[in-house]
Copies of this chain bind each other. A is one copy, B any other.
């Protein structure tokens, strides 16, 4: 089996290697008095943070080395994402150690009540960094949920105004909504290219781009996206990312489920190294982050509440919107099989797996379910299962 070669657009390299420059940028901003807000979830609207004149950086951990630090405080049997995030925060900057990562640079964490583990871990996070928690209704349908969430967003706006000393105006919010929508539209364009028979970008590369979506500044990410799309669109439709032959028999895979924050690429690497081609990611580091736009013609706070509450996270019930979306993506991206990817002990996505599997079965789409953590101990075992899945799809 030939290893899948990453596509080689210049911008891809820029995005992949942008971390150090971003740290310098954040440090400069802090020196200039700008406040840095850390978030850990799509449910916290960037638009409100930016409208207050703060910058934002995501704190979701994808690296295994921070897990053991967290396990001094947290149970071992919770998901690695939370342990990695918490471990990185404990380890960086807040215990007198000089920070060498973005985890040590935030002035405030704005968290959200999504899953049990995050909700309860945020209570401990406050010992290391000022932490504000947004509440979420858990039944997203109906006016009561939007109303409750809108109230929460209004409180959050007040917190941002207090942190930055800047008033969040309707004009500023509208400007930020338009700007974020532009990024969402660019991501739609980039993902559209992956619907091609020969997508110009590998799944692994795309995931690495998406991992930078909330690390880079919004403007830098948008600019990089524009260039990347230009580079990708200029290529001939049948010549990208290795030879045509190499592509011909690659099963087209959707990864669906839990997010993959920076550092976490184990499963997509296995899939693409063993013959699969990931064409779409239904996750918070995939379509869920940009699929829906914010209505630009409404009162901005209401429009934000309405858009964000619809994110089809498994913390919501019922979450049929996600099932519908998976089926729609499978059709649009001509998917041969779905890898249902969940993090160990993520009860939400693990239980929802049953409904996802049933829906895919009914649609005649094969599915492989992988529950894993950030360690390498299951790489071979997952590899064998992926091999068998690829063989079945070929």
Contacts and interface: CB of A to CB of B under 8 A. Distances in A.
Interface of A: 73-75, 77-78, 113, 115-117, 119-124, 133, 135-139, 144-145, 148, 151-152, 314-315, 317-319, 344-345, 347-348, 350-355, 371
18 contacts: A73-B354, A75-B347, A77-B350, A78-B350, A78-B351, A113-B139, A116-B351, A120-B317, A120-B351, A120-B352, A122-B317, A123-B319, A123-B352, A123-B355, A135-B138, A136-B138, A144-B151, A345-B347
Nearest to A134: B139
Contacts of A73: 354
A121 B351 contact: yes
Nearest to A124: B354
A119 B74 contact: no
Given A135-B138, A135-B139, A139-B135, A78 B148 contact: no
A56 B342 CA distance: 37
B120 A314 contact: yes
Pick the 7 closest A-B CB pairs, nearest first.
Answer: A120-B351, A116-B347, A113-B138, A75-B350, A135-B139, A117-B347, A148-B148
A392 to B, nearest CB: 23
Given A133-B139, A345-B347, 11 more contacts: A75-B351, A77-B344, A78-B347, A115-B116, A116-B347, A119-B315, A120-B314, A123-B352, A133-B317, A148-B148, A347-B347
